[in-house]
Amino acid sequence: MSGPEQSGAAWLPFTRPAIDEETIAAVAAVLRSGWLASGPKVAQFEAALSQYLGGRPVRSQTSATAGLEMALLACGIGKGDEVITPALSFVATANVIVRVGARPVFVDVGLASRNIDLEQAEAAITPRTRAILPVHFAGLPLDMERLYAIAARHRLRVIEDAAHAIGSLWAGKRIGSFGDLVCFSFHPNKNITTIEGGAISGGSAEELRAIELHRWHGQVKRAADDFDTLLAGGKCNLSDVAAAVGLGQLEHLEEFNARRRTLVARYFELWAEEPPLRLPQRGDAGHSWHVFTPLLPLGTLSITRGEFIEAMRARGIGVGVHYPAIHLFSAYRALGYRDGQFPNAERIGRETVTLPLFPAMTLADVERVVAAVNAVVRGART
C-alpha cells in the first residue's frame, strides 16, 4: 500500500500485519527443509491452536472461505436447505451458502453491535432451515447462550464465522473453545495471519472426517499402494510455510489483541464527548477488536463517504469499508433481495468507515487519526 506523495507525515494504513524476525527465520528454515506443503509444521500449528482453544479438534485450511464451505458440506447442507446469516458481513459469509447450493436467509444486525439480531434470526426459521451462520463482528462475541438455545430449540447446527474473533472471549471462554463448528481466518488483515489460511475448531467425529475428505481430494490411503477416493473432494490444505507463519503469530496473539484494546480505548477516550462519528458498541475486555468501524453522519455532512476517504488519504491516513450490505450486491438481488429489507445493515453499509487499528500503531497515531477525522468532519458540517 502506498500513500499520497503530497503528504509530509508517514502513511498510516488502516491495517498492517506484524511479522517478527523469528517468524521470518522459521519460514526460511521450512523453505530449506525440503518439505513445503502440509507436513510437520501444519500438524504443529493445528496442535498449538487446539491447545489455545482448550483442546478442541482443529483442522486448518487455505482460507476461512474454504473452511466455511467445508463446514456446510460436512453438516450435509445443500440444495433445498436454508441457512440464516447476517445481511452485514464480508460477502464470503453468504457466498459459501450459495456455493453449496443452499439459500442464504438474511437477517438484520444491531446498529451498534453489527451482530445478527437473534430475535429476528429465530423468527426467520422455517422447516427448511438447517443452520445458523452468524459472525462475531469485529470480534464482539454474540450472546452465545441465546444463540445456542435457539439452535437447540429448533435442532439447527451453528457454523460460527469467527474470522474476526480469534482471541475473543464470551463469559470468560475463548470463542472456538466451545460451540459447534467455529471458523477462523488468517488472512493478512485478520488479528493473526498465515498469509492466506483458516481453521475450523470443533465438529463431531463424522464432520471432522468429512472436512478432512473435502480438504484433500476425498482421498484415503490404506496402505502404500492402496488408495481410495470416498467423495469428490477439493484441495485446500495449508502449507508448512504458512503454518510456520501461523506458529510465530500465535505466540503474539494475546499481546496483539491487548494492544488493539489499548488503541481502541484511546479512540473512545478522545471521543468521550460529542464524537463526530457514531462509535460502535464498546463491548467488554473479551472484544478482540479486529476492526474499528464508526459510522459517518452523512445526513449532516456536505461530503460523501468517498470524499471523506479521499480527504483522510490526503492527510496520509488509510480508511477502509467493512462492509457493504450483502443483500444489495447483484448476485443477491438476483435471488430476490432488495433495498429496504434490512435497514441497519443498509445504513451501516452506506456509512461505515474503518479507521486505522493494528498492533504496531502508537497512541500518537490514534491521536493523529482523531485530529484528522475531527477536522474533516467539522469542516464538512452543513
Give the nearer residue to ligand PLP in terms of CB position, either 89 or 354: 89
Q: Shortest approach of ligand PLP to residue 242 CB, angstroms?
A: 11
Residue 92 or 150: the one with the smaller Cβ distance to ligand PLP is: 92
Q: Among candidates 180, 142, 189, which has minimal Cα distance to 287?
A: 142
Crossing angle of the two packed helices 92-99 and 64-74, in degrees rounded to 10: 40
Question: Which residues contact ligand PLP (rule: CB under 6 A)?
Answer: 63-65, 89-90, 92-93, 135, 161, 163-164, 185, 187, 198
**Which is closer to ligand PLP, CB of 193 or CB of 377?**
193
**Residue 378 cell numbers, joined:** 467539522
Q: What CA–CA distance (Å, rounded) separates 129 from 97? A: 12
What gap in Å lies between CA 102 and CA 94, rounded to an integer? 10
Residue nearer to ligand PLP on the CB measure, 117 or 303 = 117
Whole-angstrom distance, CA of residue 286 vs CA of residue 92 = 25
Please, what is the minimum distance in Å from the beta carbon of residue 236 to ligand PLP? 10
**Residue 102: which of 82, 129, 86 has the closest Cα?**
82
Give catalytic status of residue 190 as yes or no: yes
Query: By C-alpha distance, which of 367, 372, 355 is closest to 290?
Result: 355
What's the count of helices (H) and strands (E) in the chain, helices before strands? Answer: 13, 11
Rg of the chain on CA atoms, in Å: 21
The residue from 79, 173, 190, 221 that is catalytic is 190
Q: How far apart are the first and last CA of the chain?
A: 33
Q: How far is the CB of 275 from ligand PLP (least distance, A)?
A: 25
CB of 135 to ligand PLP, least distance (A): 5
In DSSP terms, which residues pair with 199 in a beta bridge? 60, 184
Residue 52 vs 323, nearer CB to ligand PLP: 323
- C-alpha dist (Å) from residue 370 to 241, 263, 272: 38, 12, 12
Which CB atom, from 136 or from 266, has the smaller least distance to ligand PLP? 136
Burial of 195 (0-12, 13-18, 19+ CB in 10 A): middle
Question: Can you name the residues that pair with 12 across neighbouring β-strands?
Answer: 317
* Smallest separation (angstroms) from ligand PLP to the CB of 92: 4
Question: Smallest distance, Å, CB 352 to ligand PLP?
Answer: 13
Q: Which of 253, 231, 215 is nearest to 42 (CA)?
A: 215
Only one residue has cell 435457539, namely 150
- Nearer to ligand PLP by Cβ, of 59 and 368: the residue is 59
**Least distance to ligand PLP, CB of residue 90, Å:** 4
Peptide bond into 323 cis (omega under 30): yes
Catalytic residues, by residue number, are 190
